Amino acid sequence: MEESKHLASLIGVSPKQIYEIFKAGTDWEFIIKMDALLEAASKKVVKTVLAPAYLATTGIDEFVDALPIRGRTSVLKLLDASGCGPEEMALIDCVRTLRNGFAHDITQMDLPLIEVIKRRKDKTSLLKGLCWIHKYEEEKLIEMYEKDGSFFRFGIVTGALTFMIAAYHSVIKEPEEDNQTKMALETPPAS
């Protein structure tokens, strides 16, 4: 949690808010908020990658904010091009898929997340993208999540925090440190 604070603070989210997302009253609320967190973090990463290399920083926010999360020309495609891992991208994509499902079918609002997933044709790919467990038996995993939905939420939050930590250290922090080192090397010593 400590390490994830860096990127979270850059997108205006406090550790308390991340905990509140985890403790949301319904899975519907949890997924909507988790999607918003991942979208903000993803767009911050893309803006950081694109700004120095391709665009004047004055136009980057509007450009990236207008991009969809999924699709041929999307934030996920830019994350992939910037070296984001497949597990993190799958998590972002699966959370967005569920968010869209919840947003377009209000009858699911009071259902547990695992029930919503079980009803879907893409349940296997959703579970794989959300659980962050490499080897599992799907039926046993579903039973476990049915017994304890907070364990499922914990895995999703853990994945989001892992993405935020990796993104901060590989995209945001390292370039800042490189620039500081470069500036120190280029600055002539005081005479």
**Residue 131: closest CA among 107, 148, 110:** 148
Alpha helices in the chain (DSSP H): 5-10, 15-22, 27-53, 57-65, 75-81, 86-103, 113-118, 123-131, 138-147, 149-167, 174-186
- pLDDT interval class at 58 (50, 70, 90): low
Q: Considering the chain, what percentage of its residues have pLDDT values greater than 70?
A: 83
Per-residue model confidence (pLDDT) at position 20: 95
- Span 87-106, pLDDT tens digits: 999 999 999 999 998 888 88
- Span 14-57, pLDDT tens digits: 888 999 999 999 999 999 999 999 999 999 888 887 766 555 55
- Average pLDDT (51-70) is 75
- Are residues 49 and 78 in contact, defined by beta-carbon separation less than 8 angstroms? yes
Tell me how crowded residue 191 is: count the other CB atoms within 10 A of its CB.
3
